[in-house]
Amino acid sequence: MQTESSGSKPAPQNSAPKSTEQSLYEKREKIYPREVHGRFAILRTLSVVVLLGLFFILPWLEMGGRQVILFDLPARKFHVFWLTFWPQDFLLLAFLLMLGAFSLFFFTALAGRLWCGYACPQTVWTEVYLWIERKVEGSRIKQMRLDKADWSLNKIVRKSIKHFIWLFIAGATAVTYVSYFTPEIVLTQKLFSFQLGGWELFWIAFFTLATYINAGFMREQVCKYMCPYARFQSAMFDNDTLIISYDEKRGEPRGSRRSDVHKDYKKESLGDCINCTMCVQVCPTGIDIRDGLQYECIGCSACIDVCDDVMDKMSYPKGLIRYTTQHAIDGEPSNILRPRIFIYFIILILFTSLFIFYVSQRSSIGLDIIRDRNQLYRETSGLIENIYTLKLINKDEQDRTFDIKAEGIDDLILLVDKTTILVEAGTVYDLPVRLRAKEDNLSGRSTEIRFILSVSDDDDLSVTEVGKFLGPIQ
Ligand code: SF4
Ligand code: SF4
């Protein structure tokens, strides 16, 4: 049976299907977010001012003669306000990391992407860069026109000013960041006398470039393609998590309307959305919240503010876009206090308590035993000898005089240049020691011994560390 019309040309049986080339990478369209005003914009500005203020001011503050926050890598000490963390406090660092992770889980499960919208450095610095762009190049429309226009003196001047300020902020950010590792005063002196070290120069250049590129050019690309949190946060979301959402039931069918019918629009079968696209124009990631929850949404609330403004102007109730939950949107009761919130909260409390307990129990002195790696033991004067280096740690803010003793084997002999040692505040003293014991007194190939470090003028302050004394196989 003939199925094709006589005029059509049948396709050859073995002709290859037409291939369409698909790029793996989407071409970036520059986003020009419209300026927005409103209660959430005020909150975001406040958050930016407080966080940036803290970031830039903290390295200039001193407490007890030192910078309040200083990660002193050469001395292997982290100073955070009144606390000093040593390598021995690794457990504390683990608690802190767990605290940070569970805080993120807790707040994300409770209120969505609060961190991304208000506190993430990428958001904070991008906000600042956007503000400068608006001040120098003008509103969104003016920026778009300027980018499209041919190069002119006006364009060169505006672009140069903008990039100069951006670079200045990036440089200030980088210097401040490095000053958390090299004291700010020292760093500033070195900077202005051109005496910066190689590593300092490298990190300043690195962070200048990173800030300039991330906040000036990549912006939402960092959130969309580089940030792992955007990818796994959906695992912490459920139908009771606070999300920013467009009320589809109320808004649809969307459509523009004549001013004479806008109060009576329901008769024309229209929803509350007037399709002004303002929510899209203010979005820093360029998405349309009306398409539903998307991983690109950083929860900045700009669309809430602008839509509330539109609703006000139309004399419609606010909240067409609002913080809500999926259950509320579906007309079901929301349950904010659900089991996962309690579990995250309990874990948070647990780690906070452990952290406080560990800090309160921490001794202000410490002792590390390092065995001589060249020789397990040696025989000298008819005795077995082991060699160690003891690290005497004074974590206190005042100098301490230490006494050192060893025990655990009968007639154990401690050979050391001095048994009473002055260790300066916040320093570590390396003390080489030798222990000698009779072979008959050893309990085997390896015998447990104890070094006791005590403070000369404080009987209650001492630490005991257990070590091994090695001898021949008996
Ligand atoms: S701002 Fe509000 S009214 Fe305008 S398009 Fe967006 S949702 Fe609709
Ligand atoms: S959709 Fe709304 S909340 Fe989400 S990023 Fe865009 S403007 Fe911000």
Distance 307 CA to ligand 1 centre (A): 5
pLDDT digits (tens, 9 = 90+) for 353-381: 988 888 888 888 889 999 988 888 999 88
Instruction: Report which protein residue has its CA nearest ligand 1's atom 6.
Output: 279
Distance 118 CA to ligand 1 centre (A): 22
Given a cut of 90, whether residue 6 has pLDDT beyond it is no
Q: Which residue has the higher pLDDT, 2 or 177?
A: 177
Given a cut of 90, whether residue 50 has pLDDT beyond it is yes
Which ligand 2 atom is the nearest neighbour of the CA of 298? 5
Given a cut of 50, whether residue 1 has pLDDT beyond it is no
In this predicted structure, what is the pLDDT of residue 98? 87
Distance 334 CA to ligand 2 centre (A): 22
Give the mean pLDDT of 444-472: 90
Give the mean pLDDT of 273-291: 95
304 lines ligand 1 (CB under 6 A): no
State the ligand closest to the CA atom of 254: 1
Q: Which residue has the higher pLDDT, 265 or 403?
A: 403
36 lines ligand 1 (CB under 6 A): no
278 lines ligand 2 (CB under 6 A): no
Architecture of the domain defined by 365-470: Sandwich (2.60)
In this predicted structure, what is the pLDDT of residue 19? 53
Instruction: Report which protein residue has its CA nearest ligand 1's atom 3.
Output: 273
Q: Residue 72: pLDDT band by 50, 70, 90 thresholds? A: confident
Q: Which residue has the higher pLDDT, 229 or 302?
A: 302
Q: Which residue has the higher pLDDT, 24 or 144?
A: 144
Instruction: Report which protein residue has its CA nearest ligand 1's atom 7.
Output: 273
Q: Residue 154: pLDDT band by 50, 70, 90 thresholds? A: very high
State the ligand closest to the CA atom of 265: 1
State the ligand closest to the CA atom of 247: 1
306 lines ligand 1 (CB under 6 A): yes
Q: Where are the domains of the chain?
A: 39-89+110-228, 365-470
Lowest-pLDDT range, 45-54, 122-131, 397-406? 397-406
Distance 50 CA to ligand 2 centre (A): 22
Lowest-pLDDT range, 20-24, 274-278, 334-338, 467-471? 20-24
In this predicted structure, what is the pLDDT of residue 20? 58
Give the mean pLDDT of 149-178: 96
Which ligand 1 atom is the nearest neighbour of the CA of 275? 5
Can you tell me the distance from the alpha carbon of 301 to that of 45, in angstroms, rounded to the nearest whole number? 12
287 lines ligand 2 (CB under 6 A): yes
State the ligand closest to the CA atom of 33: 2
In this predicted structure, what is the pLDDT of residue 89? 80
Instruction: Report which protein residue has its CA nearest ligand 2's atom 8.
Output: 300
Three-state SS string over the chain comes to: CCCCCCCCCCCCCCCCCCCCCCCCCCCCCCCCCCCCCCHHHHHHHHHHHHHHHHHHHHHHCEECCEECEEEECCCCEEEECCEEECHHHHHHHHHHHHHHHHHHHHHHHHHCCHHHHHHCHHHHHHHHHHHHHHHHHCCHHHHHHHHHCCCCHHHHHHHHHHHHHHHHHHHHHHHHHHCCCCCHHHHHHHHHCCCCCHHHHHHHHHHHHHHHHHHHHHCHHHHHHHCHHHHHHHHHCCCCCCEEEECHHHHCCCCCCCCCCCCCHHHHCCCCCCCCCHHHHCCCCCCCHHHCCCCCCCCCCHHHHHHHHHHHHHCCCCCCEEEECHHHHCCCCCCCCCHHHHHHHHHHHHHHHHHHHHHHHCCCEEEEEEECCCCCCEEECCEEEEEEEEEEEECCCCCEEEEEEEECCCCCEEECCCCEEEECCCEEEEEEEEEEECHHHCCCCEEEEEEEEEECCEEEEEEEEEEEEECCCC
Give the mean pLDDT of 400-426: 90
Question: Which pTM was predicted?
Answer: 0.79
The mean of the pLDDT values for the chain is 88
314 lines ligand 1 (CB under 6 A): no
Give the mean pLDDT of 94-113: 86
Given a cut of 50, whether residue 179 has pLDDT beyond it is yes
In this predicted structure, what is the pLDDT of residue 13? 43
Instruction: Report which protein residue has its CA nearest ligand 1's atom 2.
Output: 307
Given a cut of 50, whether residue 29 has pLDDT beyond it is yes
Instruction: Report which protein residue has its CA nearest ligand 1's atom 8.
Output: 273
Give the mean pLDDT of 449-453: 95
279 lines ligand 1 (CB under 6 A): yes
Q: Which residue has the higher pLDDT, 268 or 369?
A: 369
Q: Which residue has the higher pLDDT, 236 or 21?
A: 236
State the ligand closest to the CA atom of 296: 2
Lowest-pLDDT range, 170-179, 204-213, 218-227, 307-316? 218-227
In this predicted structure, what is the pLDDT of residue 474? 64
In this predicted structure, what is the pLDDT of residue 4? 37
Lowest-pLDDT range, 172-181, 263-272, 346-355? 263-272
Considering the chain, what percentage of its residues have pLDDT values greater than 70?
93
Given a cut of 90, whether residue 194 has pLDDT beyond it is no
Give the mean pLDDT of 420-442: 91
Instruction: Report which protein residue has its CA nearest ligand 2's atom 6.
Output: 283
